[in-house]
A = this chain, B = another copy of it.
Amino acid sequence: MAESSNSDMNGEKRTLKIRRLEISDKRKGFMELLGQLTVIGQVTDEEFDRRFEEISSYGDDHLICVIEEEASGRIAATGSVMIEKKFLRNCGKVGHIEDVVVDSGFRGKQLGKRVVEFLTDHCRSMGCYKVILDCSVEKKVFYEKCGLINKGIQMSKYFD
């Protein structure tokens, strides 16, 4: 668990800890934070808990991290990584980073970078040979600051 302190505009200390997602984070604004990224829909507590258990069953192969502001107990940022097991590259592994988002009230504090570094460090420790992610062209400079480079394009197909 890593800590950092930031001073907000009132000069107060705000401690921001990065850690794995916990099942109680639904009450701390985790879904609302994802809602700043895309549509979240209506997820009941039961559905959340079931999905949490499904993801947890993958252990270190699917990690979701959050940054919590300790004073308020609010989730300020999140990101996830799923580790893919391949046959190529000596049965290598690849980390797929997804759903990185920082709460609009916490921007400008390098929390996005902390999330990406946390997920990247996890992949390195898991023996991945690379980590990849997809983003819009507008986010390219941010991810370059995180040490990633543009390698190709993303294609997608939405189902009805």
In the assembled complex, how far is the CB of residue A149 from the closest CB belonging to chain B, in whole angstroms? 7
Q: A159 contacts B43, CB within 8 Å?
A: no
Main secondary structure of the interface of A (DSSP, over half): mixed
Which residues of A123-145 are within 8 A (CB) of B? 123-124, 128-137, 140, 143-144
Q: B129 contacts A154, CB within 8 Å?
A: no
Where the two chains meet, the residues of A that have a C-beta atom closer than 8 Å to any C-beta of B are: 30-31, 34-35, 37-43, 47-48, 50-51, 54-55, 62, 80, 82, 84-92, 94, 96, 98-99, 120, 123-124, 128-137, 140, 143-144, 146-159
Which residues does chain B contribute within 8 Å of A149, judged by CB atoms?
A: 155-157
Kindly name the residue among A40, A88, A128, A151 whose own CB sees the greatest number of chain B CB atoms within 10 A.
A88
Q: B159 contacts A155, CB within 8 Å?
A: no
Q: B51 contacts A91, CB within 8 Å?
A: yes
